A and B are shown apart, each in its own frame.
Chain A
Amino acid sequence: MKKKIAISCIALMCASMVLSACASGGNSSESKNGKVKVRFASWDVAEDIDKQQILVDKFNESHDDIEVVLEAYGRDFDTKISAGMGSKDAPDLMYMWNYPAYYEGLEPLDSYIEKEGEDFKKNYYSALWDYNSIEGNIYGMPVGFTTHALFYNKDLFEEAGVDLPGENFTWDDLRATAKTISEKTNAKGFAFQMKPDPYDFEMYLWSNGTAYCDGKGDMKGKIDSEGSQEVFKMFQDMAKEEIAAVTEGNGTDEFRAGQVAMYIYGSWSINSLNEDNMNYGITKLPNFGSKPSVSILSSSGIAMSKDSKNKDAAWEFMKYWTGEEANKARIGLELPVLETVIESEKIMDDSTYAPFYEMLKQSAGYTPASFIQKNWSEVSENLSLSFEEMFNPSTYRDVKETLEQAAQQ
């Protein structure tokens, strides 16, 4: 009996040692050389992480008292951040876009920004702050962003003998162009996603004067409105008429392969298109009639955990990470967010990047449903299923019926 007790005592001791080691390991805020340690989680992978590590190293070299450790979470970013917040062991700093889901675990930054003076905040594109705020409080510093724009394959346009999209290109123009291209070449004129992210897709509804829901989150009379039906019907019709391909992925693969002549996407694919030496162009989103088109903003920011033990050191790094030098270093990876950088680097003269800024300018003042709906992740999942029902060629469900049902949810 005594032995049993002895054994269990040993086991307990060992277990508690392991556990305490874990606990102290996770929370240690000072590294061995007396520097303050700040953990920074990134969602990027591969070469992007290497580039970020170089930037982090630069910061560490110039600071004797702070050591920033870059943690690459990659694909598991959300899982790890969730688990980290749940166990009160979130990294001090992290990339962030989905503020509605995480803001309760983040530190409001307004007081930090105020300390830096008036001009500090002004230098960032103003539309970006809304996307990094919840209920008027800023929870993240803008790092990069992308709007959506229309990509077109110049070779296919030439082969079909149609004009390149000009100013005030409308959806009717796009349909006519897509029809000609589909008839005269082996490619389809246009492509859109079978299962678009509802967050992104709302921009088409905005462009046509409606939205998923009203300011209170009520979807009735909004998502099933005539304007909304028109949008979905138009996409469905293009697929049915076979002038548009419905893609399983985001469409970049099909566009790169020359299977489609036009598609709509963010700036994410620019690097891979350039690698292929594709002859392509980018322009603003098509308009519905005379209304200027509106794009969704996909923004990335850097946020601070509210449980961080070294908030001042973390803020120091945030300033560096969103400052001019870092903005310049990230060109190609992210679109810069500082007006001074856009001017000094002559970004607006670059026909590849300019459309994304033009879209940014004409897209201010819209609030995505994800910032309004309390349970957006579930709403989004239901919407996504509804969209797929309308766009999947094996169903092509009736638009009116589907949207009315979606409004009930």
Chain B
Amino acid sequence: MQKSIKKITPYLFILPWIIGFLVFTLGPLIFSLIMSFYNWSLTGKPQFVGFGNYIEMFTRDKQFSKSLIISLKYAAVFVPLNMAIALFLAMLIAQPVKHTKIFRTIFYIPSVISGVAVSIIWSWILNSDYGILNYLLSLLGIKGPKWLVDPGYAILAVIIASAFGVGSMMLIFYTDIKGIPSTLYEAASLDGASSFRQFFSITLPLITPTLLFNLITSIISSFQQVTLVMLLTGGGPLKSTYFYGLYTYNNAFKHHKLGYASANAWVMFVIILILTMLVFKTSSSWVFYQSENAKNKKRRKP
């Protein structure tokens, strides 16, 4: 009896989390999958429509493909840019200079601010008439564009604003870079390798697992982006920033088409799943796992 209690104990410890997961994550997830086959206008009773919602989405709803393309475009620019900035900042604060702690904090602060506040701050910064960004540009003699009015610039404005939250990714890079043994760098500099060479031949290969992790998480978050566009642009100007997440949200809570919005969400889930799988597939050719290599070598020796 005592033995069995012992075995149950660990499960009891994680029980609160499991209940939370079942009730607040898995439950709604399955519920939304079921709802995606229904027509549910919220106040009325749901009607079963089979694949009707999916057919509607792929054949008749023009906004579906438009929003999908906008989100893909955003991800294509945002993901590499965000990772490059994060890596650059991480390299900066990893340098052996004084007061890096202060800079580390400064770079991380934007990530602590809530998305709503970030959106409001950026709507002031980007305002075409009295925004500070255009003021700074005017000091350089450049007439700033109407960021949130010109459909050609709005998506760029959203990308700039979202790059503000680069802090947590930077920290992950930073801890990984800090974990690289200094002996490697010493050996390299003795061999006369420049710091550029050191970055590309030591740092970059050794942090590829982190690179993979950050790549996947930022692909996922870029597709789920909704707070920023909802508050900063409202999907405009001229629907140029009508992201897929906003499209789904509006279908659910503005047009009250909950079944249809569930179908939207599941299509997004499948797209993210495929992209993630693709990244994983290719990862074997560019991600370098130190420990694995060490193990393989050990195995080969005897």
Chain B residues, CB < 8 A from A377:
254-256
**A3-B8, A248-B149, A394-B151 are known contacts. Are A11 and B42 too (CB-CB below 8 A)?**
no
**A102-B43, A377-B256, A395-B238 are known contacts. Are A248 and B19 too (CB-CB below 8 A)?**
no
**A86-B42, A392-B238, A394-B149 are known contacts. Are A10 and B256 too (CB-CB below 8 A)?**
no
Q: Of A18, A85, A394, which contacts B42 at CB under 8 A? A: A85
Measured CA separation A271–B148 after assembly (Å): 28
Measured CA separation A385–B238 after assembly (Å): 6
- Per-residue A-contact encoding for B225-262, CB less than 8 Å = 1, 0 else: 00000000010111100000000001011111010000
**A85-B43, A394-B150 are known contacts. Are A388 and B15 too (CB-CB below 8 A)?**
no
Contact between B238 and A389, CB atoms less than 8 A apart: yes
Chain A residues, CB < 8 A from B40:
86
Contact between B149 and A392, CB atoms less than 8 A apart: yes
Chain B residues, CB < 8 A from A375:
255
Contact between A15 and B238, CB atoms less than 8 A apart: no
Contact between A15 and B148, CB atoms less than 8 A apart: no
Contact between A10 and B19, CB atoms less than 8 A apart: no
Is A6 part of the binding interface, using a Cβ–Cβ cutoff of 8 Å? Answer: yes
Q: Of A6, A78, A104, which contacts B8 at CB under 8 A? A: A6
Is B213 part of the binding interface, using a Cβ–Cβ cutoff of 8 Å? Answer: no
Contact between B8 and A7, CB atoms less than 8 A apart: yes
- Per-residue B-contact encoding for A1-25, CB less than 8 Å = 1, 0 else: 0010011001100110011000000
Q: Of A7, A86, A195, which contacts B236 at CB under 8 A? A: A195
Contact between B4 and A3, CB atoms less than 8 A apart: yes
Is B22 part of the binding interface, using a Cβ–Cβ cutoff of 8 Å? Answer: yes
Chain A residues, CB < 8 A from B7:
3
Interface size bracket, B side: 20 to 34
Residues of B14-42 at the interface with A, using a CB-CB cut-off of 8 Å, are 15, 18-19, 22-23, 40, 42
Measured CA separation A375–B253 after assembly (Å): 14
Is A332 part of the binding interface, using a Cβ–Cβ cutoff of 8 Å? Answer: no
Q: Of A10, A15, A85, A104, which contacts B22 at CB under 8 A? A: A15
Contact between B146 and A393, CB atoms less than 8 A apart: yes
Chain A's nearest CB lies how many Å from the CB of B104? 34
Chain A residues, CB < 8 A from B151:
392, 394-395
Is A137 part of the binding interface, using a Cβ–Cβ cutoff of 8 Å? Answer: no
Measured CA separation A381–B12 after assembly (Å): 50
Chain B residues, CB < 8 A from A331:
none
Chain A's nearest CB lies how many Å from the CB of B159? 19
Is A105 part of the binding interface, using a Cβ–Cβ cutoff of 8 Å? Answer: yes
**A11-B15, A11-B19, A78-B253 are known contacts. Are A194 and B149 too (CB-CB below 8 A)?**
yes
Contact between B256 and A101, CB atoms less than 8 A apart: yes
Interface-central residue, A10, A15, A395, by most chain B CB under 10 Å: A15
Chain A's nearest CB lies how many Å from the CB of B167? 26
Contact between A18 and B23, CB atoms less than 8 A apart: yes
**A102-B43, A388-B236 are known contacts. Are A82 and B256 too (CB-CB below 8 A)?**
yes
Chain A's nearest CB lies how many Å from the CB of B9? 11
Nearest 4 A/B pairs, CB to CB: A104-B43, A105-B43, A394-B150, A377-B255
Interface of B toward A, CB cutoff 8 Å: 4, 7-8, 11-12, 15, 18-19, 22-23, 40, 42-44, 127, 146, 148-152, 234, 236-239, 250, 252-256, 258
Q: A3-B7, A10-B8, A385-B239 are in contact. List 9 more A-B contacts (CB 8 A).
A: A7-B8, A15-B22, A18-B19, A85-B42, A195-B234, A195-B237, A381-B255, A392-B149, A392-B238
Cβ contacts A to B, 30 pairs, < 8 Å = A3-B4, A3-B7, A11-B18, A14-B19, A15-B22, A15-B23, A78-B254, A82-B253, A82-B256, A85-B42, A85-B43, A86-B42, A86-B43, A101-B256, A194-B237, A195-B234, A195-B237, A248-B127, A248-B149, A381-B254, A381-B255, A388-B236, A388-B237, A389-B238, A392-B151, A392-B237, A393-B146, A394-B150, A394-B237, A395-B151
